[in-house]
Amino acid sequence: MNGIKKSVQTFMLVVLSSIAWGQVKYSNEFLQIGVGARALGMSNATVATVNDVTSGYWNPAGLLHLKSNIEVAAMHSEYFAGIAKYDYGSIAARIDSSSVASLSVVRFAIDDIPNTIQLLDANGNIDYDRISTFSAADYAFLFSYAKQLKIPGLRVGGSAKVIRRTVGDFGGAWGFGLDAGAQYDYKKWKFGAMFRDVTSTFNAWSYNLDAQTKAVFQQTGNKIPENSVEVTLPKLILGAARKVEFKQKFSIMGELDLVTTFDGKRNVLIGTNIASFDPRLGIEAGYKDFVFLRVGVGDFQTMTDISGQTIHTFQPNIGVGVKIKSLTLDYALTDIGDQSVALYSNVFSLKLDINKHPHKQ
């Protein structure tokens, strides 16, 4: 019987780790991972230079750089030895010469989690046929729009986000939020600004637990979840970049982004009680706009080791890309930010231009 209780408790830890108990600081963290192997290889330093369909996620103003009427992209990656799966797909379409719209979908999930709550029958006997499975899944749907303003070099855009989070049939949440972004070109420099969750993003959780499930929770010492609301506070990302070309064959582009949070002091490079600042640096070297090599560094952390000494850590990333006519294949070797484990993953993404009537910027 003790083994059964431990099994149920283990199951509950998985469930409860997927549910936010009215928290404010770290909700919707699956939307912080990033999309597109190009950006991931540059440690997500891309707010000023993103110029394709992935702009709907990184900075919607970048959608105006689309070189075709329609562009589609897809990405798949796995974390924690394949336990967690992260999928992304998007499509962007040019409305006219000065506006573009896109739809992006993100899914981050752990599937086939064993549900052992019903393991015992009415007589207290173990019945393995009563074991079922469920998924703990997070979804985001981003509807983005970008507009070219009359000010030369200035582009603005915004995204409306619909969030859906589920933990099997036990509970789920619906959320809504807004992002706003801008890009500005000045001579050879590019500047970008992205205000994530500018109005704050709210997720409302509700639960559907039957009497038997509640009884198991009580018997195993687990807290019965209650309906709650979690809040994702605003985050401001500022970026600056410059590209240098050599004899029209070689190019090198560097971008520096600064992520500013306003939810209290974090263990980042610069942390205060009012705001915390986390820099990211990405570099992309290209040859004939055909082959690209990328490196990045970010996720700077200030920690205390076992001896009580303050240490500083960071996460490096690398990536490559190949563009063949209208098809682009990108690869990145990246982590989701835990240097103590360093579970690096191979990330691949594809992008396709459907070039009916190319638009020239």
Q: What is the mean pLDDT of residues 264-293?
A: 88
Residue 343 confidence (pLDDT)? 64
**What are residue 50's phi and psi, to 5 degrees?**
-60, 130
Q: What is the mean pLDDT of residues 40-52?
A: 95
Residue 44 confidence (pLDDT)? 94
Reading the block at residue 256, the tokens are: 């520096």
Render pLDDT for 189-222 as a digit per residue (tens, 0 to 9): 999 999 999 988 888 888 876 666 666 666 666 6
- Residue 270: pLDDT band (50, 70, 90) is confident
First to last CA, the chain: 69
Q: What share of the chain is helix, strand, coil (3-state, %, to 5)?
A: 15, 55, 35
Higher-confidence residue of 79 and 162: namely 162
**Would you kindly state where each structural domain of the chain is located, as residue ranges?**
2-354
pTM equals 0.83
Residue 339 confidence (pLDDT)? 47
Reading the block at residue 246, the tokens are: 């050599």
- Residue 75: pLDDT band (50, 70, 90) is very high
Residue 16 confidence (pLDDT)? 44
Percent of the residues in the chain that have a pLDDT greater than 70, as a whole number: 82
Render pLDDT for 110-130 as a digit per residue (tens, 0 to 9): 888 877 766 666 666 777 776
pLDDT of 80 higher than 50: yes
Residue 279 confidence (pLDDT)? 94
In whole angstroms, give the CA distance from residue 179 to residue 158. 5
In whole angstroms, give the CA distance from residue 196 to residue 232. 9
Residues 6 or more apart whose Cβ sits within 8 Å of residue 255? 42, 45, 46, 47, 48, 49, 190, 239, 240, 241, 281, 282, 283
Lowest mean pLDDT among 71-75, 216-220, 271-275, 323-327: 216-220
Taking the mean position of all CA atoms in its chain, how far away is CA 219? 37
Task: Give domain 2-354's CATH number out of 2.40.128.520, 2.40.160.40, 3.40.50.300, 3.30.470.30.
Answer: 2.40.160.40
